[in-house]
Structure 1
């Protein structure tokens, strides 16, 4: 327990704390009870949420008691976004998503061992609070002049749309969660992303005001892509943890394509690799970047964490087949569908000539251009080179009755999807 904060800091997982010295002492003298909340604003958690699950995982492994909160009540309201009002979901839909997310967090934490994680739903303690009790018992501890300084609230107040009282009250609801968990479980540490600092501090302030006790808040930096944009569904670039929403193959490919400038940061944050292992990967990035050893390590480790070893093996096999020297015909139907879904292409019928197929999938703009590519030996179908412009694709070329993979050289490929 004594060095967990040092490890988190070394891994780049600490952005802000309420009082680092006090938190360090509390962690060393623990165990502490720590929680993180996840709102069901979608049917799946995404990469940004995974960051916090990994934080909880590290703290539990260090001996601390962890609580996963799924926001059945806060999810009905929605954390204010700087851009626009959220569309409220129905109570039934929110309840369904609560159940899905509760199941989704199960593999990341130990719910059965000597120090089991706890899962809670904040609807259990908020649905019975009347409006009058909410205003009298909790609202009186908040000052509007402080609430409007929160970044998202301030941005909305300065917009034409403004902000509804519903979303404005969100920070009170989240603060109430921390107070309840403090009273019920002795929880004294809340985790979140750095963009949640205002909401998290509202909780620690409420506990100080009501109970006269000091508790802790720890945020992690927002991980961003190479353009500096954060990951998340509201940003339109979410990497979902649900395999039906982002396939294991697409998940693996995403991390395989991380830029050199970002990969070591992500390995530190997202994996359990040691300092020596990471130093060696950093050397590989500097000296042999073309081998992409660090990216392969990151992709394999994170995909295994989220989807398991079998799914990772399938994703690696598909990646080798699609981009390396692997046998694309050996891919199982599910993995092939996942891989094809990531490719550009078009519909093609059996009996179509190779020349016309190149035009249909967008590899060539004209029949003359297609014939030149074929004549130059640049075209392959399912990794087999073809040199006859009049060669007709057969039904067997459409693997698993799904698609034929057409390549121009080694880097450009497209899917000839079986026309129905």
Structure 2
């Protein structure tokens, strides 16, 4: 399918400058395009996935993606979509985060392919050495204050206040586009729809700086949820691409719990499934929603893409074990992922009576209640119901001699660490 038509089918085009001109260029040439990622944290999160995967779609179609890490703009802070001034981070922190983000981007873009390898750039390479006089004379003079005030990213902050630092962000991002146009022949910038003002400002700077210049901008819709809650957020916070911040199991669970009203949209946005495959899953959502086939496909595709097939299988194993109660079938790593947020207790001895353990770990409030819980069949040790009052929990019976999982009732889990 033609690239722009595929993007339209997937709902990935919000705004585009000179659509007919871009269509012709994409048909006739293999162009360079870029999207920027500011290091505002030590990891990207799933909100960044849409522009990253859109770059990947362009690469698959034969074009040359540039992933721009904002080593300089990350020191300033983009006011777009923010109600208040960002906290400024130190140069050392931004540099460290920039390097981490470079590593994450390499999971999704192919830097080794011979024909059209992806490229990583860092705007600190050209902004870091720019002196203030050159910046004001050569770049700043191209921007009228009234023009900048009319942009949504600035307008939205006029009442609450915006510093000159953040006000200048638009000029710096525009300068990025100009430098990439001049040095890399980059002719297209893509980004979220909140970047429209910054992107069009960059196009204006290119027009003023280069004769007969022809560049384009394309924005992607911001991802929303049908229930009105923020996409990419859970009770535990943001869903990160770093497995240490969001485990593969938590990542898998985020997608498996997608609302029926959102799942087809997300399959189009985030996966590389074909139109026929997505249409078939859409039919299943209507005909057999209880099977959650679309959610399973979404979770499998996304977890494998971000964390790999082995981590996907771990996430599936954990989900299956929690559903069936077969805790003993899990590995130590799977236990750590699946029970990351449950109450835990460090066992002081290598062997302890179950009654004493229930009280010590505050699973049961007293020995009397512990005896009742055991006798009534409410206590499970590594998935097995335990009704012997004299039962002893030992390290040698722990999974990998490290973990015992105790369940009280239907859903209350506790992790015992040896």
Q: Given the two structures, how large is their TM-score scaled by the length of structure 1?
A: 0.89
Residues 406, 286 of structure 1: alpha-carbon distance in 2 compared, 3 angstrom cutoff: farther
Classify the secondary structure of the residue corresponding to 1:200. Answer: helix
1:171 Cα deviation from its structure 2 partner = 0.8
Classify the secondary structure of the residue corresponding to 1:407. Answer: strand
1:409 Cα deviation from its structure 2 partner = 6.0
Farther-moved stretch of structure 1 (72-81 vs 130-139): 72-81
Given that residues 60 and 66 in structure 1 are in contact (C-alpha distance below 8 angstroms), is that contact kept between their aligned partners in structure 2? yes
Residues 5-404 of structure 1: pairs in structure 2 closer than 5 A: 5-80=4-79, 82-113=82-113, 114-159=115-160, 162-212=161-211, 213-231=213-231, 237-324=237-324, 327-342=326-341, 344-347=342-345, 349=347, 351=352, 353=354, 357=358, 360=361, 377-388=377-388, 391-396=391-396, 398-400=398-400, 402-404=402-404
Runs of at least 5 residues in structure 2 that lack an aligned partner in the other structure: none
Given that residues 379 and 385 in structure 1 are in contact (C-alpha distance below 8 angstroms), is that contact kept between their aligned partners in structure 2? yes
CA distance in 1, matches of 2:229, 2:30: 36
Q: CA RMSD in A?
A: 2.7
Residues 281, 141 of structure 1: alpha-carbon distance in 2 compared, 3 angstrom cutoff: same
Farther-moved stretch of structure 1 (192-201 vs 141-150): 141-150
Q: Given the two structures, how large is their TM-score scaled by the length of structure 2?
A: 0.89
Given that residues 402 and 417 in structure 2 are in contact (C-alpha distance below 8 angstroms), is that contact kept between their aligned partners in structure 1? yes
1:305 Cα deviation from its structure 2 partner = 0.7
CA distance in 2, matches of 1:156, 1:97: 27
Cross-structure match for 2:406? 406
Residues 396, 283 of structure 1: alpha-carbon distance in 2 compared, 3 angstrom cutoff: farther
Given that residues 13 and 269 in structure 1 are in contact (C-alpha distance below 8 angstroms), is that contact kept between their aligned partners in structure 2? yes
Residues 369, 220 of structure 1: alpha-carbon distance in 2 compared, 3 angstrom cutoff: farther
CA distance in 2, matches of 1:140, 1:119: 29
CA distance in 2, matches of 1:10, 1:255: 21
1:251 Cα deviation from its structure 2 partner = 1.0
Residues 372, 108 of structure 1: alpha-carbon distance in 2 compared, 3 angstrom cutoff: same
Given that residues 16 and 219 in structure 1 are in contact (C-alpha distance below 8 angstroms), is that contact kept between their aligned partners in structure 2? yes
Aligned length: 411
1:134 Cα deviation from its structure 2 partner = 0.5
Given that residues 57 and 109 in structure 1 are in contact (C-alpha distance below 8 angstroms), is that contact kept between their aligned partners in structure 2? yes
Residues 52, 227 of structure 1: alpha-carbon distance in 2 compared, 3 angstrom cutoff: same
Farther-moved stretch of structure 1 (3-12 vs 86-95): 86-95
CA distance in 1, matches of 2:375, 2:323: 22
Farther-moved stretch of structure 1 (388-397 vs 112-121): 388-397
CA distance in 2, matches of 1:276, 1:221: 23
CA distance in 1, matches of 2:109, 2:42: 20
CA distance in 2, matches of 1:370, 1:387: 11
Given that residues 331 and 399 in structure 2 are in contact (C-alpha distance below 8 angstroms), is that contact kept between their aligned partners in structure 1? no
CA distance in 2, matches of 1:337, 1:204: 49
Superposed CA deviations along residues 32-54 of structure 1, whole A, max 9, x for unmatched, are 21111111111111101111111
Classify the secondary structure of the residue corresponding to 1:188. Answer: strand
1:217 Cα deviation from its structure 2 partner = 1.1
CA distance in 1, matches of 2:142, 2:125: 22
Farther-moved stretch of structure 1 (132-141 vs 396-405): 396-405
CA distance in 2, matches of 1:391, 1:195: 60
Runs of at least 5 residues in structure 1 that lack an aligned partner in the other structure: none
Superposed CA deviations along residues 380-413 of structure 1, whole A, max 9, x for unmatched, are 2222122346645433454345543333566x24
Residues 171, 367 of structure 1: alpha-carbon distance in 2 compared, 3 angstrom cutoff: farther
Given that residues 258 and 295 in structure 1 are in contact (C-alpha distance below 8 angstroms), is that contact kept between their aligned partners in structure 2? yes
CA distance in 1, matches of 2:371, 2:286: 41
Given that residues 379 and 408 in structure 1 are in contact (C-alpha distance below 8 angstroms), is that contact kept between their aligned partners in structure 2? yes
1:415 Cα deviation from its structure 2 partner = 2.2
Residues 232, 158 of structure 1: alpha-carbon distance in 2 compared, 3 angstrom cutoff: farther
